[in-house]
Structure 1
């Protein structure tokens, strides 16, 4: 572990995943120097109370346009947790970061599916912007970087893996606590690697990667909270709700047809169809996870923890409406 305390500038810190990561960073703030976030004027107005709370914890808040280079010149180390709507903007941030000697590392918004899992991954439509971001980082001469690959989020927020989807979309996979029903792909016995956003599992993994630069530099860290199957997820929901669930199945072939139609019709959920297919095909399953490289084997959340939180989220009706960061 490095002995110097490094400064952090975080993009997307008030979003779905960014908020969890920032919370964990603040739990470990003694390990870092200055902690700053950059946020838009709209967010500053709409989330003023949240930002004031962050300031009270010692976070420096810069209000500005993330597309304007002059608004990010105070960056020291960059952690990006932005959603798909601004993924490409990271290329400009990388170019700016390389021109500033004080910026040493860049954590792009990778959290999710491994875009370099197999030879077919390079052709997946949702991967294209992240592929360009990786290429931009590899082309730099002075920046170190880390891709934190987590797999799908085991969470009950809308469009996350343990959420209840609308009737029109449940065929791609869903877990509905109110209806006590689930839809699984194929037979539901294929293993999937998951990471929980709540209780800061994603945040813990990012902080560990920050604190172990030698182990995480210029590589993809394939980390997770746990590995399980959709069938076991249903069993855990049944155990915790105390009721037998109705389970239906969608074949992989049917999912591929729906995916193709979604892209052809430019459906907003087309990326989710693709990701669900990738997960069902085993596209987040690794022979060995990298948690041990950054001292992150212990105290990770379990399937039982994730299902408990998903039940609470669904029953409380607090599922997120801004779903751009879940893809």
Structure 2
């Protein structure tokens, strides 16, 4: 490691109680001896509504900073005792990162920034530039390219969360579903298309490994994952663990594209899910090689473990 690479030691997490933020926070706490300080920035409403959680975190040595993510003074005050920002903000507030980045650029302490990526590679191919779910994250990357020169940036690209993919989809099973109780599955495409998944627990572990492996590469894009499998592989694992055959239906790629178009036209809240699952089925998570090795190749969960968890969750 070059001597001038920023070494993250004081980590401030935004979005810590969200879908993926809670897994990142757990991984940080589990490896807290590697860091001098861990803090979260949360809203007054979340602090009040999740008071027991905040108390628990404080007992674990996590500093809880309460403020408005859109308030410059609140954010500036939070930055004072930290050198690294990790953002796990959700899609609905992803553009709030532009302010966070601008304030970090002018901060005297922040040296490293992890924007909220944790999903599909938004610059996978030329067609990625027009995918609707990518637009806000692309605006954040554009802001970084054009305005942020003095921060070490890492994009952690994980692909789809297997925990969510390997589950029962009640509202729109046609976008893929694994129903343990009924032993019914809806597989996308032909069922033979490979998808590279990352478990939500592993997102946290891989991010911590990246923090512990600083680099002068800037920006650094890490394409990491837990395992690669086809929908048919997932179904076979369910049948193996349950000892029973399942009823199977398929949503062809053509049907998925048609449903995706209708979803966007009708402002269906599941439109993003249609697009992302179409991208995954088309091979948009497959790379020549993954980057786990660049951060020490930490141990990751397996398909077998994920299916076991899905069975337990549904029964």
TM-score range, shorter chain: over 0.9
1:294 and 1:222 mapped to 2: Cα distance? 11
Aligned counterpart, 1:281: 282
1:238 and 1:284 mapped to 2: Cα distance? 25
Residues 1:216 and 1:231: Cα distance change in structure 2 (over 3 Å): farther
Q: Normalising by the residue count of structure 2, what TM-score does the alignment of the two structures yield?
A: 0.94
Give CA-to-partner distance per residue, 1:251-279, whole Å, 9 cap, x none. Answer: 11111010000000011110000001000
1:114 and 1:146 mapped to 2: Cα distance? 13
Measured on the aligned residues, the alpha-carbon RMSD in Å equals: 1.4
Q: Normalising by the residue count of structure 1, what TM-score does the alignment of the two structures yield?
A: 0.91
Aligned counterpart, 1:132: 139
Gaps of 5+ in 2: none
Aligned counterpart, 2:182: 179
- CA shift, 1:314, in A, is 2.2
Aligned counterpart, 1:92: 99
Aligned counterpart, 1:319: none
Residues 1:5 and 1:264: Cα distance change in structure 2 (over 3 Å): closer
2:104 and 2:310 mapped to 1: Cα distance? 38
Give CA-to-partner distance per residue, 1:1-32, whole Å, 9 cap, x none. Answer: 56956211100111121111111111211211
Give CA-to-partner distance per residue, 1:111-146, whole Å, 9 cap, x none. Answer: 010001111001100000000111112221211111
Aligned residues: 307
Aligned-partner SS, 1:308: helix
Give CA-to-partner distance per residue, 1:72-97, whole Å, 9 cap, x none. Answer: 11222110011101001111111111
Aligned counterpart, 1:50: 53
Aligned-partner SS, 1:273: helix
1:113 and 1:182 mapped to 2: Cα distance? 23
* Structure 1 contact 215–294 (Cα < 8 Å) conserved: no
Aligned-partner SS, 2:215: helix
- CA shift, 1:185, in A, is 1.4
Aligned counterpart, 1:161: 165
Gaps of 5+ in 1: 316-327
Give CA-to-partner distance per residue, 1:45-97, whole Å, 9 cap, x none. Answer: 11111111110111000111111111111222110011101001111111111
Aligned-partner SS, 1:244: coil
- CA shift, 1:217, in A, is 4.1
Moved over 3 A (4+): 1-5
Aligned counterpart, 1:148: 156
Aligned counterpart, 2:17: 14
* Structure 1 contact 209–216 (Cα < 8 Å) conserved: no
Aligned counterpart, 1:236: 237
Residues 1:4 and 1:108: Cα distance change in structure 2 (over 3 Å): closer
* Structure 2 contact 7–214 (Cα < 8 Å) conserved: no
2:252 and 2:168 mapped to 1: Cα distance? 19
2:216 and 2:151 mapped to 1: Cα distance? 16
